[in-house]
Structure 1
Amino acid sequence: MISDSSEEDDYDFLFKIVLVGDSGVGKSNLLSRFCRNEFDLESRSTIGVEFATKTITIDKKIIKAQIWDTAGQERYRAITSAYYRGAVGALLVYDITKYLSFENCQTWLDELKENSSQDIKIMSIGNKLDLKHLRAVPIEKSKTFSEENSISFIETSALDSTNVDEAFKQVLNEIYMSTVSNEDQVKTEKVKGSTTVVVENTDNKKDKSRGKFAKWC
């Protein structure tokens, strides 16, 4: 079960998610819609690093999502490996009314895979669904692209909120399930004589000594 949580300072897991894609596809508005339920009709490309946080609950565990925006750097292909470092999830965003933004998804995906963990959970997002009457990217092409690259896919509208929560929560759920699965593998019983030793990974459970960043929502 997934639900929203208001407790920002108490969490079991901290997951970093990055937004990638061409400038102007709506990445910043997706972030602000999910974290603050806001939308800026006159949104301009952000300059400088931007991130926000949102806390939700999955299976009674408090998940804090730290979501990073490329902040306009994609216009100059100036994104560095530091942006991707530590990311366990990514939203690959394009504008369904701009075919070139969809074509460029392959380049963004290649860069993402080159600079992040092989276990990162990726979702392709066709944004601006509210402008579907101006659609330039057939949904079948988007589905094929996602299937060929083994990533998730959804269409959203940051303007009217369509599927925005669903997109972020699906990725967070995939990350959580993968994390729990990995922890289960770590909790391997090692028998030494008559003694059973259980190895358990507790690094990111309510760890207040690291992973604490500024909160924007």
Structure 2
Amino acid sequence: MSAGRTILTNNVAKDRMITKFPQAFHPDATPYQKMNFHPKVRQACGENRTGRVGLKICKAVLVGDVSVGKTSLVNRFCHDVFDRDYKATIGVDFEVEKFSVLSVPFTLQIWDTAGQERFKCIAASYYRGTNVVMVVFDLSDERSLSNASRWMADACENADEPVKFLVGTKKDKLSPAAYENVERRAAEVARTLGAEYWAVSSKSGENVNDYFFRVVCLTFEAAVLRELESSPTQTKHIGNDLIKMEKNDLYEEKRKKSIKCCNA
């Protein structure tokens, strides 16, 4: 966590408070055509009807070839640092970041997996229950993009309808012309995978925060909508963990029948 970050009393940093829905990096390379929070989500957040969303942890997993920049991406976002001489990840590492989305707490657990083949079986055991799959590739290494489909298939095998991303790193290493050529192919691969495409630079920080905020908002909204669909007759308050059960339609129907019977 950077020294300049202001921490609030609810343990959420000031720069982790989200009130606006971030836009997609490439509007033609995303299956998630979201530009704003769903009205139902805004209303539920305003009325504290988001169920257990604020109490749960969202699990995001980064996969991809060795040395594509997965750890650098995580370190830039979580600690605002860039280390040229980082050590390769052994097995799995993870970070936990707390957010406030529309004034509702939301926690993102970021799992950074090793890209070496010998660690593949270890990393695979952590895919279960994944909410977000981030396939990372090196924009300057065409082979790492070719392997993206394999990584996506492996990560999604034990995940339950995760939000999917294809993230190209090391954007600072490419000239505008070279990047344009890579982007066309990357966007096509993303469409094939049903994933949203992003290009970032962990070295300069370009697009890193916007990308992770987009991840959080898409996942948060999906979680709230699922909660509303599964508990349409409940009003749940996150702040003091108070759960208020409203009278359901069945109870009302029985009550009306009882009154009608007594009046007969």
> Structure 2 length normalisation: TM-score?
0.66
What is the deviation of 1:71?
Answer: 3.3
Q: In the alignment, does 2:143 pair up with 1:100?
A: yes
Describe the SS at the equivalent of 1:115.
Answer: coil
Give the letter aligned to residue 18 of structure 1. V
Larger Rg: 2
Describe the SS at the equivalent of 2:126.
Answer: helix
Give the letter aligned to residue 212 of structure 2. F
Q: 1:176 to 1:195 in 2, by over 3 A?
A: farther
Q: In the alignment, does 2:50 pair up with 1:17?
A: no
Give the letter aligned to residue 49 of structure 1. V
Contact persistence 2:187–2:197 (CA under 8 A)? yes
Describe the SS at the equivalent of 1:159.
Answer: coil
Equivalent in the alignment of 1:169: 213
Describe the SS at the equivalent of 1:57.
Answer: strand
Cα deviation 1:131-170 (Å, max 9, x = unaligned) = 0136596101111111222211110001111111111111
Equivalent in the alignment of 1:194: 252
- Among 176, 179, 183, the alignment partner of 2:223 is 179
Structure 2 portions without partners, runs of 5+: 1-5, 13-53, 234-247, 255-264
Contact persistence 1:5–1:56 (CA under 8 A)? no
Matches within 5 A, 1:1-217: 7=11, 12-74=55-117, 76-117=119-160, 119-133=161-175, 138-189=182-233, 190-194=248-252
Q: Which has the higher strand share?
A: 1
Give the letter aligned to residue 182 of structure 1. R
Q: 1:77 to 1:49 in 2, by over 3 A?
A: closer
- Mapped to 1, the partners of 2:193 and 2:91 lie a distance apart of 30
Structure 1 portions without partners, runs of 5+: 197-217
Q: Which has the higher helix share?
A: 2
- Mapped to 2, the partners of 1:56 and 1:74 lie a distance apart of 34
User: Over aligned residues, Cα RMSD in angstroms?
Assistant: 2.3
Q: 1:55 to 1:149 in 2, by over 3 A?
A: same
Q: 1:32 to 1:58 in 2, by over 3 A?
A: same
In the TM superposition, structure 1's runs of 4+ consecutive aligned residues that sit over 6 Å from their partners are: none
- Mapped to 2, the partners of 1:160 and 1:108 lie a distance apart of 26
> Structure 1 length normalisation: TM-score?
0.79
What is the deviation of 1:13?
Answer: 3.7
- Mapped to 2, the partners of 1:108 and 1:95 lie a distance apart of 14
What is the deviation of 1:79?
Answer: 3.9
Contact persistence 2:64–2:115 (CA under 8 A)? no
